Structure 1
Amino acid sequence: MFYQKMKKIGFLLLMVPVFYSLNTASAQEVIGDVWSVEKANDWYAQHDWISGANFNPSTSINQIEMWQDFSFDPETIDRELGWAEDIGFNTMRVYLHYLVWARSPEGLKNRMEQFLEIADSHGIKIMFVLFDDVWGNDPNLGEQPDPIPGVHNSAWVESPGHDQRLDEALYPVLKAYTQDLISHFDGDDRVLMWDLYNEPGNGKNPPASSLPLLKNVTQWARDVNPTQPLTIGMWIWNDSFDELNEFSAANSDIITFHDYNPIDQTKEVVERLQSEHNRPMICTEYMARTNGSKFQTHFPYFAEQNIGAINWGLVSGKTQTIYSWDSPRGYGEGFYQRWREEVREVYPWEDHLKASEPDVWFHDIFRRDGSAFDTTEIELIKRINEEN
């Protein structure tokens, strides 16, 4: 699928060294009152070291299924956040979707309140993500597709969507969504921060075509001026993304970034960001075992550097992110179409997942029964969290 190919391409591009300077805040457009470096560092110092995962309950295939009224699953959320608490995680990064809000603003906010109550009972704060350029480009409400066997994130959806992000007629709705949620939870210390836009430009030609929406989202959020910090994560390092990265860095109170590289390349990115911004940093996506991004290499390093560490994936489930970006493995050309037309009922996703678990998971920590993929990882995570 196109968006999966783009994620793979994205990883290959991440392997390219960082040659350009990100220290462009003086020249780059700055919208609203971005926190001073002093305020950002004071805020960060008031929190325990931030560690956690990107969270989607195992029973949800995407953001829409997580948050719609008929598929919202507090029982699973409570159970799985309990496992996160057990290993010392204190933060979850959680994606929202504007369509769920558009259907029922009060309904979504009520479910967010319930979710925050559950998270708080486990000592976990939440970083909400408002917009996303990854991966399915035509999101819709209602029943979501079943997973395609063996395929990484086969039904994850963009917010607002590939074409919708360019539609200025939709901006009033997106503005209301942004400002309603940020205003409603302004001052709520269960919300750690607001991640305004995940991986802007991912899969877009040109990537900078997402910049108009990104700038508007930033303006809408700054107009609210919440007590929680705002951030826009940088995720890829090449000339096509210079403008997006420069804007993101200049307009983030706290610097956030994604990096799925082996540790030596991750250190290069960290050192560049540290030297050029002197702001607190959180890696909001990392840990892809078969790419060389592992808990054993990255988690202690992030702790040593006082960089927040939020890996992709907590519990293996319908997103199937135990498989790599270039999955499926061994199904051949045309498999996707054959799956949809011929064999969807033959392989219920739960049975297929059990039968085809890869020897080395790409993402995720726990199975749906709470057992760990790797108990040595669990011991490491617990130890580092206890020490910090």
Structure 2
Amino acid sequence: MKYLGVCILFFLALACGEQNSKKPGKQVVVVEGQRWSSEKAWEWYDKQPWYLGANFNPSSSINQLEFWQEDTFDPETIDRELKWSADLGMNLHRVYLHNLLWSQDSIGFLNRLDIYLGLAQKHKIKTMFVLLDDVWHPIPKPGVQPEPVPHVHNSGWVQSPGAEILGDTSRHDELESYIKGVVGHFANDERVLVWDVYNEPDNVAGQPGRRELEVNNKHEFSLILLKKVMRWAREINPSQPLTIGIWKGNIAHWGTPDSLPALDRYMLMNSDVISFHAYDGEIENVKKKITELQKYNRPLFCTEYLARGAGNTFQKVLPVLKKDKIAAINWGFVSGKTNTIYPWKSWDSTFTSEPKIWHHDILRQDGTPYSKEEINYIKQLTGHLP
């Protein structure tokens, strides 16, 4: 009878969580599973070095699918570019995955992840895997990926799972085997440092021809899916922490969860370590974000920054992050098929040649730097100057 009572309470709790997830606006925050205590998070993080790295996508891949599919998986390029990263003193990369890769070939996909982790380990680089992503094209398709649109930022990047699954709650459970399969396979693998569960939930594609494909009331569907994904990941109970990075909204409210929208509040209250994005041109805004997020008393990871044209540079951001041992992961490493040297506004403006000021990325495909001054600055911070 005691066991039956516990089961009843458990399923009632799940039912309440589902019911709450469909209501926009303020609501009680459900903390899924066994979220790490702040003490456990700090005990783990205090043993770690300061992490510096990039959002890594090999220059030969336009998106997550081309990165990992069997026909286009490119260990030679990956190995070469990881070595260049290690030469700068980088020791952590954030790497995007995709649910379609699991549906397409789960065993092969896991094998390729293992190959990647082996290459990263060879260069003493840890990995933060990103499981889902609400950014750019809403309709991902497996197979041969499109060629880049010349001079256009991230013309081929795709959302995961995309609008067709995200906007149909009856299809959300199709993702359970992907989440549990990938997290479960690497749950005790020391090469994986952190799981970034869902990148920028509720980021709506506004590019021509894409806005019409998006999910209406996307923030509601993203929250419903995120709750399920967190529950599945907690059921695996990996040895690594889970996080979902806050990325938008009024900075002044970031440290007061009751003032946040339901989705942002859920993200912060269910992360073992707190992650955030900081493309702010004013460095005072980056400092304000840090001040607000430090109120949660958890380790901080800045998982995206670097927008040179807006004044968001290595020289401005890195000293602020290093001072408080906040992991620093910029967007982009080697310029390639993603075209992220071009700014976001390249969707609305016409570029006919390489921009004078690169938006993201650090190196050209031959390994030479966009800026020798930047390279020397990074090496100085990491102790890798000759």
- What's the TM-score once normalised by structure 1's chain length? 0.85
Which residue pairs with 2:372 in the alignment?
A: 375
Alpha-carbon deviations, 1:168-220, whole Å to 9, x = none?
33333201000011110011000011000000000164323310001100000
Counterpart mapping for 1:1-388 below 5 A: 27-203=28-204, 205-206=216-217, 207-238=219-250, 242-262=261-281, 263-274=283-294, 276-328=295-347, 330-331=349-350, 356-386=353-383
| Runs of 4+ that moved beyond 3 A | 238-241, 328-332
Three-state SS of the structure 1 residue aligned to 2:344 is: coil
Q: Select between 200-209 and 370-379 the one with higher mean Cα deviation.
A: 200-209
Which residue pairs with 1:344 in the alignment?
A: none
Say if 2:180 and 2:233, in contact at 8 Å, map to a contact too.
yes
Which residue pairs with 2:22 in the alignment?
A: none
Say if 1:166 and 1:213, in contact at 8 Å, map to a contact too.
no
Instruction: Find the aligned partners of 1:136 and 1:264 in 2 and give their Cα distance.
Output: 32
Superposed CA RMSD: 1.7
Displacement of 1:329:
6.8
Displacement of 1:246:
0.5
Displacement of 1:30:
0.6
Identity of aligned residues (%): 50
Displacement of 1:241:
6.7
Instruction: Find the aligned partners of 2:248 and 2:172 in 1 and give their Cα distance.
Output: 26
Corresponding residue pairs, total: 339
Instruction: Find the aligned partners of 1:159 and 1:278 in 2 and give their Cα distance.
Output: 31
Three-state SS of the structure 2 residue aligned to 1:105 is: helix
Q: Select between 159-168 and 126-135 the one with higher mean Cα deviation.
A: 159-168
Say if 1:139 and 1:159, in contact at 8 Å, map to a contact too.
yes
Displacement of 1:259:
1.2
Three-state SS of the structure 2 residue aligned to 1:94 is: strand
Partner AA of 2:363 in structure 1: F
Alpha-carbon deviations, 1:216-263, whole Å to 9, x = none?
000000011100000011110149972111100000000000110021
Three-state SS of the structure 2 residue aligned to 1:134 is: coil
Q: Select between 61-70 and 165-174 the one with higher mean Cα deviation.
A: 165-174
Say if 1:138 and 1:162, in contact at 8 Å, map to a contact too.
yes
Alpha-carbon deviations, 1:77-103, whole Å to 9, x = none?
000001100000000000001101101
Say if 1:150 and 1:329, in contact at 8 Å, map to a contact too.
no
Instruction: Find the aligned partners of 1:85 and 1:48 in 2 and give their Cα distance.
Output: 15
Partner AA of 1:152 in structure 2: H
Instruction: Find the aligned partners of 2:329 and 2:85 in 1 and give their Cα distance.
Output: 12
Instruction: Find the aligned partners of 1:214 and 1:306 in 2 and give their Cα distance.
Output: 28
Where does structure 2 lack aligned partners over 5 or more consecutive residues?
1-26, 205-214, 254-258
Greater RCO, 1 or 2 (C-alpha within 8 Å, sep 6+):
1
Instruction: Find the aligned partners of 1:28 and 1:306 in 2 and give their Cα distance.
Output: 29
Say if 2:165 and 2:172, in contact at 8 Å, map to a contact too.
no
Q: Select between 163-172 and 100-109 the one with higher mean Cα deviation.
A: 163-172
Instruction: Find the aligned partners of 1:300 and 1:171 in 2 and give their Cα distance.
Output: 41
Alpha-carbon deviations, 1:336-367, whole Å to 9, x = none?
xxxxxxxxxxxxxxxxxxx7111100000000
Displacement of 1:300:
1.4
- What's the TM-score once normalised by structure 2's chain length? 0.85
Say if 2:52 and 2:92, in contact at 8 Å, map to a contact too.
yes
Where does structure 1 lack aligned partners over 5 or more consecutive residues?
1-25, 333-354
